[in-house]
A and B are shown apart, each in its own frame.
Chain A
Amino acid sequence: MRNPYRTQKIAFFLLLLATLLIVVPVGLIVVIIIQKGLPAINWQFLSDIPRQGMRAGGIFPAIVGTLYLVTGAIIFALPIGLLTAIYLSEYSKDNTLTRLIRLAIVNLAGVPSVVYGLFGLALFVIFFKFGASILSGSLTLGIMILPVIITASREALESVPHSFREVSLSLGASKWQTIRHIVLPNAIPGILTGTILGLGRAAGETAPILFTVAAFYLPQLPDSIFDQVMALPYHLYVISTQVPNVNEKVRYGTAFVLLALVLCMNLIAVIIRSKFRKKKKW
C-alpha cells in the first residue's frame, strides 16, 4: 500500500516547485532590469531628446507623451467608470439590463489590446477625423481601462455598509444626497486604487496606441491634443526591434523607466489599499 503521507510530501514539493517556477523568474526579470537599467539613468537621459537615430541621447519626449496619454485616458474614463459603478451598486435592479451591462464589462476587459487599436483607428482616427493624435490615443486607452475602474469602484462602493445608507435616508436625505455625501466619501480609497491601477495599465500598453497616436521619432513636445507624440512603451519596442545597433544601455534604461513608472503606480495603489484596510472602522 502507498503511504499517503509520502504522497503528500511529494505532491507538496511539486506544488512548491510550480510556485517557484513563476516567482523566481519574476524576481529575476526585475533584478536584471534594475541592474542593467539603473546605471543608464541620469539627468541627461531623462531630460534630453533622442539623438543619433535614437541610439543616444534621452527619452524626454517619450516620457512626456506617455504622461499626456495617461492623463487624457483618465480624464475620459474616470467619470464614466465611476458613474457606471454607482449605477451598478446603487441603482440597478437584478434584471436583464444589469446582466447585459455586466457582460459588456467582462467583454471590454477581454478584448485583445490590438483590437482596441483597430477600433481606435476606425472610429477616432478615421471616422471622427481626429487623425493620429493624443486625443485618439487617449480615448482608445480610456475605453480600454474602463473595466478596471468600474470593477474597482464598484467593489469600493459595495463595501460601504448598508446601514450607512439607511441612516442617511432615514434622516431625510435623498438618494443622490446619500450617495454624494455618505457613500462616495467612504469609497474614495477603493476608487483611487482602481484609478491608479488603470493608470498603470494605460501607461504600459503599446498595441492600442500603435495606430492611434504613437510617433516613431518626434523630437519635440506636442502643441495641442491633435498632435502625435512619442510614448515610452512604443519607444522601447522601436529601439529593441526596429532600429539596429542601439546601445544596450539605452534599451535597458528605457525599459527601466517604463517599468519603474508602472510599478510605482501599482505600489501607490497597494499602499492606499492597505492603509485604508487598517483605518476601516466597520
Chain B
Amino acid sequence: MRKVKEFIIEKLILLCGLASILFVTLIFLFLLKEGIEVFKSVGFFKFLFGKSWYPISEPPQLGILPLILGSLLVTIGAAVISIPIGIGCAIYIAEIAPQKLKEILKAGIELLAAIPSVVLGFIGMVTLVPLVKSVFHLPTGLTALSGAIMLAFMAMPTIVSIAEDAFYSVPKTYKEGALALGATHWQTIWRVLLPAASSGILAAVMLGIGRVIGETMAVMMITGNAAVIPHSIFVPVRTLTATIAAEMGEAVVGSEHYFALFAIGIVLFVISFAINVTADLFLHKRQ
C-alpha cells in the first residue's frame, strides 16, 4: 500500500516537473498557430524586411523592418550605456566596497530590479523626457535616446548581479597568487579576475540585453511610438514589443493585423530563446 502511494506521488511530482516544458512548448505552438498565417500570406522575408508598417491601410502593409530597427537602435544604445557601467558596478561591489557598503549597494540594486516597469516608464516621462528635450534642443523628448537611457537602467540589475556572481566564482587562489607576485589590487582585477570571470560576464551582458529587447511598458511610454525607419537616435521610434502592446487592443481577432502581431511575437520568442540558451551555455561552462 505504501509502495503504491509512493509511486503515485513520485509520478505526480514528475508530471509537475514536466509542466515547464509543456508551457514553453505551448507558448511557441500558440504563437505559431496564430502567427504562421502571415508568413504564408505576406512571405517570410517580405515580413521581416518590408520597409513599411501600415497594418490598417487597405491593403495592409506588414513589413516590420522599421520596428526591428527601432528595437535594435534602442537596444544598442542601452547596451553601450549599461555594459561598462554595469560591469564597473559589479567589480566595485564584488572587490572594492567594504562589507557594510556592499550590503547597502546590493539592496539598492535589488530595489531597482523590483520597481515595476510601468512606474519607471512614468518617472521617465516626467523627468527624463523633458531633460532630453531641453538638453538636445529637440522638438520632442520622446526619442530613441530616452528609451535607450531608460532601458540601460532596467538592464543594470541583471548585469550587475550576474557579473558579480561571476567574480565570486573565480577561485580565491587566483587572486592570492597575483597579489603575492606583487601586482596591485587593480592589476589583479584587470589582468586576472576579469579574464577568469569573462564567460560569466558575457552571460550577464547577454541576459541584460535579453531583458532590454523584451521590455515593453517603459519603452512604449517614452520612445514616442513612430513606426518609421529611424535615421538618428534623436527621433521617435517604435519597438517590436511596444507595437504588440499598443496595437493588439485595436486589432480585430482573425484579421491580418492580428496575425501579424502574433508573428512579431514569434520573432521576439525566437530572439529571447536564442539569447537565453546561449547565455545558459556560458554560465554552465563556468561551472
Contacts and interface: CB of A to CB of B under 8 A. Distances in A.
Contacts of A15: 88-89, 91-92, 96
Nearest to B14: A87
A236 B189 CA distance: 44
Contact of A118 (B84, B187, B207, B244): B244
Interface in B219-273: 221, 241, 244-245, 248-249, 253, 261-262, 265, 268-269, 272-273
Interface in B114-160: 114-123, 125, 127, 153, 156, 160
B280 to A, nearest CB: 5
Interface string A7-24: 110011011111101110
A244 interface: no
Given A12-B96, A33-B123, A107-B273, A262 B16 contact: no
Contact of A83 (B6, B17, B27, B249): B17
Given A108-B23, A115-B265, A29 B17 contact: no
Contact of B272 (A12, A107, A119, A255): A107
Interface string B1-32: 01001100110111011111101101100110
A262 B245 contact: no
B276 interface: yes
A105 B116 CA distance: 22
Given A8-B186, A86-B13, A251 B122 contact: yes
A121 B105 CA distance: 39
A103 B262 contact: no
A176 B85 contact: no
Contacts of A39: none
Interface string B151-185: 00100100010000000000000000000000011
A143 B185 CA distance: 45
Chain B binding site: helix, strand, loop or mixed by DSSP?
helix
A200 B89 contact: no
Interface residues of A, number: 84
B108 A26 contact: yes
A44 interface: no
A236 B118 contact: yes
A18 to B, nearest CB: 3
Interface residues of B, number: 85
A79 B13 CA distance: 10
B49 interface: no
Contacts of B20: 84, 101, 104-105, 108, 146-147, 150
B196 interface: no
B190 interface: yes
A112 B23 contact: no
A101 B156 contact: no
A91 interface: yes
A23 B262 CA distance: 37
A207 B216 contact: yes
Nearest to B27: A119
A237 B33 CA distance: 30
Interface in A226-275: 233-234, 236-237, 240-241, 251, 255, 258-259, 262-263, 266, 270
A84 B153 contact: no
A118 B272 contact: no
A219 interface: no
A106 interface: yes
B122 A236 contact: yes
B120 A211 contact: no
A121 B280 CA distance: 29
Interface in A70-85: 79-80, 83-84
A111 B107 CA distance: 26
Interface string B97-119: 10000000101111110111111
A80 B16 contact: yes
B37 interface: no
B241 A114 contact: yes
B111 A26 contact: yes
A196 to B, nearest CB: 11
Contacts of A26: 108-109, 111-112, 115
Interface in A156-205: 174-176, 200, 203-205
A270 B115 CA distance: 15
B203 to A, nearest CB: 11
Shortest beta-carbon contacts, A-B, top 4? A112-B214, A204-B116, A18-B88, A87-B17
Given A104-B20, A112-B241, A237-B217, 15 more contacts: A7-B186, A14-B88, A15-B89, A18-B85, A29-B115, A91-B13, A109-B276, A118-B248, A122-B262, A206-B216, A233-B118, A240-B221, A259-B115, A259-B116, A262-B115
